[in-house]
Amino acid sequence: MCVMKIPFRKYHGCGNDFIIVQEEEIYPELLQDLIVQSCDRHTGIGADGFIVVRKEPLEMLYYNQDGSRAPMCGNGIRCFSQFCIDEGIIHKKEFVVKTLAGDKIIRVLDDQTFQVNMSKPEFEDLSLTGTSKRIWNDLYIIEDRHYRLHTFFQSTIHTVVFVDELNEEWMRKDGKIICEDPMFSLQTNVNFVQCIDPTHIQMQTYERGCGMTLACGTGACASVVCAYQLGKCKDTVEVLLPKGHLKIHIDTHGDVYMTGNAQCIAKGEYVYETN
């Protein structure tokens, strides 16, 4: 048995929590097992996701808690940015982070608050969503519950569902069913959205590879984009989450901007055992 001590920091953005390590501290062949072990909330540190920092060029490698790779994470990229500042990797007020969903421009607004250009949504490229046809306002029935699905790519795969209320039991159960439906060959994040008024929505996300989370940054962007497309909200919206809020703005060119905070909540060494 081999025992390694891996330096880490843990952050959260609106309750969405992440373990963050630098690339040089890990062995690639052990990464998936390390992610699964460390993200376990009972026998590990516990987290929704795991982030690896690559420095040259600056890149965020994002993984779900089950070890699967995801293109991007909105709350995660803010936490990534705060980590880079805390570790002295970044000293600028504006910088670019590479992701599998393209380069993201980060602006440091003040202490622990960041604005991220999340790019434009993609509605037509089905290869990004892993579906055989465009899914927009498609009826989906689970028992006696009727949903309308809206699926597109907003830095990762998202399906938006508008509901009259956020019911934890139904969201957890129905989110899993929709996420794992065979029509989504890559699975999908499922955002349950309640529109409060034209400038406020509430939402929660069932994330592929993770399950229900307290917040999803890309999901908040997707939810506002979808609501805006359907005339349910304005171009600037406050997204209310169980443990915080995000500001989402859609500019005249269709680019989506996310503003929110990131907070370091732990720092130490993770004792990782491998055979």
What pLDDT digit, counting tens, does each position of 60-77 carry? 999 999 999 999 999 999
Q: By C-alpha distance, which of 80, 153, 96 is closest to 121?
A: 153
DSSP 234: -
Over residues 162-193, the pLDDT tens digits come to 999 999 999 999 999 999 999 999 999 999 99
221 annotated active-site: no
Q: What is the pLDDT of residues 215-234, one digit of tens each?
A: 999 999 999 999 999 999 99
Place of tokens 């990534």: 80
Is 217 assigned a ligand-binding role in the annotation? yes
- Please, what CATH class does the domain formed by 126-254 belong to? alpha beta
Residue 110 has pLDDT above 90, yes or no: no
Q: Is 189 annotated as a binding residue?
A: yes
Is residue 137 annotated as involved in ligand binding? no
Strand pairing report for 16-22 and 94-97: unpaired
From the candidates 14, 73, 195, 226, which is the catalytic residue?
73
> How confident is the model over 245-266, as pLDDT tens digits?
999 999 999 999 999 999 999 9
User: 223 and 201 in contact (C-beta within 8 Å)?
Assistant: yes
When pLDDT is averaged across residues 139-149 and rounded to a whole number, the result is 97
Measured from the Cβ of residue 206, the count of other Cβ atoms closer than 10 Å reads 27
Mean pLDDT of the chain: 96
Please tell me whether 64 is known to bind a ligand.
yes
Q: pLDDT at residue 125 above 80? A: yes
**Short-list 271, 273, 209, 270, CA closest to 9:** 270
Distance CA 155, CA 177 (A): 22
Domain boundaries, the chain: 2-119+261-274, 126-254
- Domain spanning 2-119+261-274: CATH superfamily: Diaminopimelate Epimerase; Chain A, domain 1 (3.10.310.10)
Token pair of 64 as six digits: 């779900």
Does 16 appear as a known binding residue? yes
- The domains spanning 2-119+261-274 and 126-254 adopt the same CATH topology: yes
Q: Is 74 annotated as a binding residue?
A: yes
Q: Average pLDDT for residues 18-47, to the nearest whole number?
A: 96
> Catalytic: which of 14, 39, 84, 216?
216
Nearest to 157 by CA among 192, 184, 194: 184
Active site residue 216: yes
